[in-house]
């Protein structure tokens, strides 16, 4: 699951925007930022850094090493602009491995980058010389009062601090992300230590820059109707449903690109919709294990034996997890041709 989302996040970092016929302004089609952002909470020892290293080693991602405002965005000394660390994440995935190391001012800039694709920094001792620098996926412009950085990057934020009180800026950042809240058991740890649970590596497709991906009106409405059918997050959280909608569109964007298309089809949003229950549980802060997510994703009207064979998880463990997922309410069981099969709630 994490590897799939990291793959989608990387792919969308190479997209300029999503054009949608909905939310038109002055008869112009709406342009939505294409980048899918992720916020991961997982305990120490979860191997999240190891899983991300494959992306870093293959130049699909960059791990942040600077956590101050100046270190993140850059600064000016004399007539020189010194690039910030986030520029290394342009046109790919920018990973902040321990989010709470980032200072407050820098977090606010992450928020504007997520929302608008730019950040502005004021500098009192700024040079009189105009600054104008650019590279693939980024541009810096500045005069006497400071500079503005425009950048195209997908953000993956993670933390192993699970019980920390969430401040307002962090809450706003999380509202713009696909949230994953993992728990990590002794059994999971022993499996890794014994080499029984290999570290996953994503299947990445090299993607050139794509200026626009199109969301047709009929497909846009189909997804809105799908979301209206299922309520896990209370209905008075209307803002969540807007954010969830666009995150699913961004996943559908990646799926279309993986199929060598720049137009989203109904099949893309139908596949993206399977992530909707997990997106909702992440927003609510519910914890799931890797095995639970594996079993959920395999629940495509299959028997427990079929799910066990597909995932490699022992049958008894699969049966226990199926009971837990039924209690949570994201799968249901049915009788089909004399046997019990398990389906995701989105298929019902």
Domain assignments of the chain as residue spans, ordered by start: 298-348
Q: Which range is most confident: 125-139, 151-165, 310-324?
A: 310-324
Q: Is residue 307 very low, low, confident or very high in pLDDT (cuts 50, 70, 90)?
A: very high
pLDDT, mean over the chain: 85
Mean pLDDT lowest among 173-187, 219-233, 254-268, 306-320:
173-187
Q: Specify whether the CB–CB gap between 61 and 95 falls below 8 A.
A: yes
Give the whole-angstrom CA distance, residue 25 versus residue 220. Answer: 17
Q: Is residue 23 very low, low, confident or very high in pLDDT (cuts 50, 70, 90)?
A: low
Question: Three-state SS for 341?
Answer: strand
pLDDT for position 201: 64
Mean pLDDT lowest among 49-58, 204-213, 250-259, 272-281:
49-58
Q: Is residue 127 very low, low, confident or very high in pLDDT (cuts 50, 70, 90)?
A: low
pLDDT for position 316: 92
Write the pLDDT tens digit of every residue in 217-260.
Answer: 999 999 999 998 888 888 888 888 989 999 999 999 999 999 99
Percent of the chain at pLDDT exceeding 70: 90
Q: Which residues are within 8 A (CB) of 247 and not within 5 positions of it... i.e. 6 or more apart?
A: 36, 178, 279
Q: Is residue 262 very low, low, confident or very high in pLDDT (cuts 50, 70, 90)?
A: very high
Give the whole-angstrom CA distance, residue 276 versus residue 295. Answer: 15
- Give residue 256's Cα distance to chain centre: 17
Give the whole-angstrom CA distance, residue 75 versus residue 13. Answer: 24
DSSP 4: H
> Does position 348 have pLDDT exceeding 60, yes or no?
no
Q: Whose CA is closest to 91, among 258, 208, 260, 257? A: 208
pLDDT for position 188: 72
Write the pLDDT tens digit of every residue in 24-75.
Answer: 655 666 788 999 999 988 877 666 677 777 788 888 899 998 899 889 988 8
Question: Three-state SS for 48?
Answer: helix
Q: Specify whether the CB–CB gap between 153 and 94 falls below 8 A.
A: yes
Q: Measure CA of the first residue to CA of the last residue in the chain; give whole Å.
A: 22
Q: Which residues are within 8 A (CB) of 106 and not within 5 positions of it... i.e. 6 or more apart?
A: 67, 68, 69, 71, 72, 73
Write the pLDDT tens digit of every residue in 89-117.
Answer: 999 999 998 888 888 889 999 999 998 99
Give the whole-angstrom CA distance, residue 232 versus residue 235. Answer: 8
Q: Specify whether the CB–CB gap between 208 and 10 falls below 8 A.
A: no
Q: Is residue 126 very low, low, confident or very high in pLDDT (cuts 50, 70, 90)?
A: low
Q: Which residues are within 8 A (CB) of 258 and not within 5 positions of it... i.e. 6 or more apart?
A: 11, 205
> Does position 14 have pLDDT exceeding 90, yes or no?
yes
Where residue 280 falls (left for φ over 0; alpha for ψ -120 to 50; beta otherwise) is alpha
Q: Which residues are within 8 A (CB) of 36 and not within 5 positions of it... i.e. 6 or more apart?
A: 5, 8, 9, 12, 154, 178, 247, 250, 251, 254
Q: Specify whether the CB–CB gap between 223 and 273 falls below 8 A.
A: yes
CATH number of the domain located at residue range(s) 298-348 in this protein: 1.10.10.10
Give the whole-angstrom CA distance, residue 180 versus residue 164. Answer: 16
Note the maximum CA span of the chain.
79
Alpha helices per DSSP H over the chain: 2-12, 48-57, 69-73, 104-116, 168-175, 186-193, 217-229, 238-258, 266-273, 276-284, 290-298, 304-311, 315-328
Count of CB atoms within 10 A of residue 41's CB? Answer: 24
Mean pLDDT lowest among 14-28, 268-282, 300-314:
14-28
């Amino acid at each position: 699951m994490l590897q799939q989302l990291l793959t989608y996040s990387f792919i969308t970092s190479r997209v300029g925007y999503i054009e949608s016929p909905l939310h038109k302004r002055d008869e112009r089609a709406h342009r939505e930022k294409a980048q899918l952002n992720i916020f991961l909470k997982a305990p120490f020892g979860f191997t999240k850094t190891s899983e991300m290293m494959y992306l870093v080693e293959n130049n699909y991602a960059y791990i942040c090493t600077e956590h101050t405002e100046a270190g993140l965005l850059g600064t000016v000394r004399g007539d020189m602009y010194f690039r910030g660390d986030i520029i290394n994440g342009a046109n790919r995935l920018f990973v902040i491995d321990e989010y709470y190391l980032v200072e407050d001012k820098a977090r606010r800039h992450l928020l504007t980058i997520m929302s608008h694709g730019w950040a502005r920094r004021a500098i009192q001792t700024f040079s009189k010389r105009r600054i104008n620098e650019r590279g693939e996926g980024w541009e810096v412009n500045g005069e006497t009062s400071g500079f503005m950085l425009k950048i195209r990057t997908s953000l993956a934020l993670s933390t192993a601090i699970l019980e920390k009180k969430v401040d307002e800026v962090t809450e706003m950042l999380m509202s713009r992300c696909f949230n994953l809240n993992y728990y990590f058991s002794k059994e999971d740890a022993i499996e890794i230590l014994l080499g029984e649970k290999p570290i996953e590596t994503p299947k990445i497709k090299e993607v050139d820059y794509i200026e626009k991906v199109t969301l047709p009106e009929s497909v846009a409405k189909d997804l809105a109707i799908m979301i209206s059918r299922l309520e896990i997050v209370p209905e008075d959280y209307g803002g969540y449903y807007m954010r969830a909608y666009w995150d699913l569109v961004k996943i559908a964007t990646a799926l279309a690109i993986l199929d060598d298309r720049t137009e989203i089809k109904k099949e893309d949003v139908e596949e993206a919709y399977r992530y909707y229950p997990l997106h909702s549980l992440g927003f609510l802060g519910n914890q799931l294990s890797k095995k639970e997510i594996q079993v959920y994703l395999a629940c495509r009207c299959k028997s427990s034996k079929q799910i066990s064979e597909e995932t490699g998880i022992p049958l008894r463990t699969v049966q226990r997890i199926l009971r837990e997922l039924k209690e949570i309410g994201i799968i249901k069981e049915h009788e089909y041709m004399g046997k019990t099969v398990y389906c995701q709630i989105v298929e019902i």
